[in-house]
Chain A
Amino acid sequence: MEQFKIETIAPLTVAGADLSFTNSSLWMLISLISVAAFLFIGTARPQLVPGRMQAAVEYLYEFIRDMLRENVGKDGLRYAPLIFSVFVFVLACNLLGMVPFVHSFTPTSHIAVTFGLAMIVFILVVIVGFARHGLHFFSLFLPEGTPLFVAPLVALIEFLSFLSRPFTLAIRLFANMTAGHVLMKVFGGFVVSLGAVNIGLGIIPLGVNVALTALELLIAVVQAYVFALLASIYLNDAVNLH
């Protein structure tokens, strides 16, 4: 579990709270800088016929806009910048955590960060829901056509499922990133322990680890996609009430 260890880089305490700048903070900062570089270069001089970097930014932005159009509808496009931010932040943290040799750290393998991300989505959904529908937003918890005698039970279940959303969102991302990284570490350990027995034997877990690296890169992208997709599906509830 050494790869998940939080190491303080610059200690900082404000009003008794420990706000130290850690390796987690550092890699979030690196993610932020990478995304900022990508976006600022890509949109420096927007042209009708885009260059490479602009085309890349547009592709990613259109990806999010299509997702919102499909799952929320035209009204959902207003939230494209926020969903885009969530998506690229998760994507950058996931991918940069895979960089070898630089003692990289994956902030999204920590439940505190993924919970923060999930709360952004949750709070957005609540605010948008109440802003658009007022108290009518509560009808979300009672699907239309529910027989009256099961209504209280259904409402309770729907409410609990609504409340559990930030937790499932946070745990899904954290668990995926952690499990993948642990698996890679385990097979990395096998390379050493089996290689100590016989150099030839060490090749097998090494090969597995190469494949796992590809899989982990896939998971890094897919989980960012899943996070953004679920965010837009939850947003659909708030915008359109089922």
Chain B
Amino acid sequence: MPQFDPASFVSQLFWFGVFFALLYFAVVRPTLPKVGKVIDARETQVAADLDRAEAAKGAADTLRADHEAAMKAARDAAQAAVAQARDAAARASDAQMKALAARLDADADAAAASLDLARASARSGLEATVSELVGEAVAKLTGIEVTPADVSAALAQR
């Protein structure tokens, strides 16, 4: 096997040394760190982007929570306002009803009183007329002069 022939060893090792040194110092060292730098830059940028996204998500979450709280507060306030308005309206209509009822009662009372008054005056007028008529009738029939006061007294005696 030519592999075990020492005659070529020195030449092989020499050229291997030359080419490997060239590979390491003239090819890999000047090129590879550039790529390494890019890889590191990419990793840091991706990490930073992820952090930013995380922060943005947190901000959005708090914003949503704020919005929901505001919505809830507004809804509560609106409901309270509606309830208050309904109460006030109910109270106002109650009062109006009461006032109206009172006025109607008063009107009815006044009407009843004036009716009573009219009835009483009508009765007293009737009595006076009756007394006169009775006096005249008695005078015509009997010739006895009877005053209306006597008739009234006689009526009152019965």
Could you list which residues of chain A lie within 8 angstroms of chain B, going by C-beta atoms? 1, 4-6, 17-22, 24-25, 28-29, 31-32, 35-36, 39-40, 42-43, 46-48, 50, 54, 57-58, 61-62, 65, 80-82, 84-85, 88-89, 107, 109-113, 115-117, 120, 174, 178
| With A58-B39, A112-B13 as contacts: A40 and B2 at CB distance below 8 Å | no
Give A48 to B45 CA distance when docked, in angstroms: 9
Minimum distance in angstroms from B97 CB to a CB of chain A? 81
Inter-chain contact A18/B38, CB cutoff 8 Å: no
Minimum distance in angstroms from B8 CB to a CB of chain A? 4
Contact residues of B: prevailing secondary structure: helix
Inter-chain contact A43/B32, CB cutoff 8 Å: yes
Complex interface: stretch among B22-30, B86-94, B110-118, B147-155: B22-30
Q: Closest residue to A11 on the B side, CB-wise?
A: B11
A1, A65, A85, A107: the one contacting B12 at CB < 8 Å is: A107
Give A17 to B5 CA distance when docked, in angstroms: 15
Q: Closest residue to B32 on the A side, CB-wise?
A: A81
Minimum distance in angstroms from B148 CB to a CB of chain A? 133
Supply 12 further A-B pairs (C-beta < 8 A) apart from A24-B11, A25-B12, A43-B34.
A17-B10, A18-B10, A19-B15, A32-B23, A42-B31, A42-B35, A57-B32, A58-B38, A84-B32, A85-B24, A89-B19, A116-B12
B residues within 8 A CB of A24? 8, 11-12, 15
Give A110 to B10 CA distance when docked, in angstroms: 12
| With A19-B10, A113-B12 as contacts: A62 and B39 at CB distance below 8 Å | yes
B7, B31, B42: the one contacting A18 at CB < 8 Å is: B7
Minimum distance in angstroms from B34 CB to a CB of chain A? 5
| With A1-B2, A110-B3, A112-B16 as contacts: A39 and B11 at CB distance below 8 Å | no
Inter-chain contact A46/B24, CB cutoff 8 Å: no
A and B contact pairs by CB, cutoff 8 A, 7 listed:
A5-B2, A25-B12, A32-B23, A48-B38, A81-B28, A110-B2, A112-B3
Inter-chain contact A25/B35, CB cutoff 8 Å: no
| With A19-B10, A35-B27 as contacts: A28 and B15 at CB distance below 8 Å | yes
Inter-chain contact B1/A112, CB cutoff 8 Å: no
Minimum distance in angstroms from B16 CB to a CB of chain A? 4
Give A165 to B36 CA distance when docked, in angstroms: 30
| With A1-B2, A48-B41 as contacts: A40 and B31 at CB distance below 8 Å | yes
Inter-chain contact A174/B13, CB cutoff 8 Å: no
Give A46 to B35 CA distance when docked, in angstroms: 6
Give A214 to B11 CA distance when docked, in angstroms: 32
Please list the 7 inter-chain residue pairs (A to B) with the smallest Cβ-Cβ separation, ordered nearest first: A25-B15, A112-B12, A43-B31, A46-B38, A6-B8, A39-B31, A116-B16
Inter-chain contact A50/B12, CB cutoff 8 Å: no
Inter-chain contact A85/B20, CB cutoff 8 Å: yes
Give A47 to B41 CA distance when docked, in angstroms: 10
B17, B24, B28, B42: the one contacting A116 at CB < 8 Å is: B17
A residues within 8 A CB of B17? 116
B11, B36, B41: the one contacting A61 at CB < 8 Å is: B36
